[in-house]
């Protein structure tokens, strides 16, 4: 199983922050962890040039490859920059830009056609959690977001409880274990035994202090990191926590 630590910079970072990406790339040359940094679109090209030992990903893409979609970025444009990964269906996209499972599914299809590795985000809201709907919401998101997909080789799933994003709150290890096991079962139901190779990342307030225990949970194959990915000093301990782990 691949181990992956991905950093989602969201709408943060200008050229002066590229040095953080360079430091991460230099320090983790030869690491057994796939490191993916997803800066804003404006930094993708420069990041690709300086980060030769890690992967560079986008945070979103449009369903279509070109056309009259002011302000949007397509998979063709990402391919042109040799970007290797794309986050799709982040809860901030789902909630603030109305991305339904259907839209997410179309984006996943578009991305896979351009050979991008997809980091598909799923996660329940606080209300859904309180109503004990977490596992059913996740199942619906998995089935809905992957409904047209048959080739899962480039799929990575990131479980991100919405209430844990940027709040400093995390589920208990037992809860993470239950949800990740359930996600694995859903994927096995859909794709059979090959789904045992789909990496499942945990995301939501991961930091250098809690990463080791989160990575000790079965079916946690890495992390999607927001705030702590913005600097080398806060991101490195998270990568180190999963490096050399079997």
Cα–Cα dist 168/70, whole Å: 35
How many CA atoms does the CB half-sphere of 70 hold within 13 Å? 0
Among residues 20, 62, 85, 90, which one is catalytic? 90
In terms of CB distance, is 54 or 92 closer to ligand PGA? 92
Among residues 124, 128, 160, 180, which one is catalytic? 160
Cα–Cα dist 90/168, whole Å: 18
Closest CA to 123 of 173, 183, 195, 63: 183
Closest CA to 155 of 184, 179, 182: 184
Helix (H, G, I), strand (E, B) or coil at 65: coil
What mask of x and - would describe binding to ligand PGA in positions 156 to 185, judged by CB under 6 A? ----x----xx-------------------
Q: How far is the CB of 198 from ligand PGA (least distance, A)?
A: 18
What mask of x and - would describe binding to ligand PGA in positions 182 to 211, judged by CB under 6 A? ---------------------xxxx-----
Identify residues 8-27 at the interface with ligand PGA (CB under 6 A). 8
Question: Is 160 among the residues known to form the active site?
Answer: yes
In terms of CB distance, is 191 or 226 closer to ligand PGA? 226
Q: How far is the CB of 187 from ligand PGA (least distance, A)?
A: 20
Q: How far is the CB of 145 from ligand PGA (least distance, A)?
A: 16
Closest CA to 225 of 107, 216, 242: 242
- Map tokens 């079916």 to a residue: 219
Closest CA to 184 of 150, 157, 212, 153: 157
Chosen residue from 225, 238, 239, 241 binding ligand PGA by CB under 6 A: 225
Closest CA to 115 of 158, 157, 82: 82
Is residue 36 a contact point for ligand PGA (CB under 6 A)?
A: no
Known catalytic residues are 90, 160
Contact residues for ligand PGA (CB under 6 A)? 8, 160, 165-166, 203-206, 224-228
């Amino acid at each position: 199983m691949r181990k992956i630590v991905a950093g989602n910079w969201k709408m943060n970072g200008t050229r002066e922050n590229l040095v953080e990406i360079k430091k991460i790339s230099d320090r983790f040359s030869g690491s057994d962890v796939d490191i993916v940094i997803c800066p804003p679109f404006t930094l993708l090209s420069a990041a690709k040039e300086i980060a030769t030992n890690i992967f560079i990903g986008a945070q979103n893409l449009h369903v279509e490859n070109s056309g009259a979609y002011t302000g949007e970025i397509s998979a063709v444009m990402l391919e042109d920059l040799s970007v290797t990964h794309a986050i799709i269906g982040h809860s901030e996209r789902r909630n603030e830009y109305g991305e339904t499972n259907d839209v997410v599914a179309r984006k996943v299809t578009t991305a896979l056609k351009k050979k991008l590795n997809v980091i598909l985000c799923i996660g329940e809201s606080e209300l859904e959690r309180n109503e004990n709907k977490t596992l059913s919401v996740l199942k619906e998101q998995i089935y809905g977001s992957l409904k047209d997909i048959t080739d899962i080789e480039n799929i990575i799933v990131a479980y991100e409880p919405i209430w844990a994003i940027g709040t400093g709150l995390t589920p208990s290890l037992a809860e993470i274990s239950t949800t990740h096991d359930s996600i694995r079962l859903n994927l096995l139901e859909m794709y059979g035994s090959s789904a045992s190779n789909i990496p499942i990342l945990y995301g939501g307030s991961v930091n250098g202090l809690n990463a080791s225990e989160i990575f000790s949970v079965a079916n946690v194959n890495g992390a999607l990191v927001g705030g702590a990915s913005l600097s080398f000093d806060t991101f490195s301990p998270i990568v180190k926590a999963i490096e050399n782990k079997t």
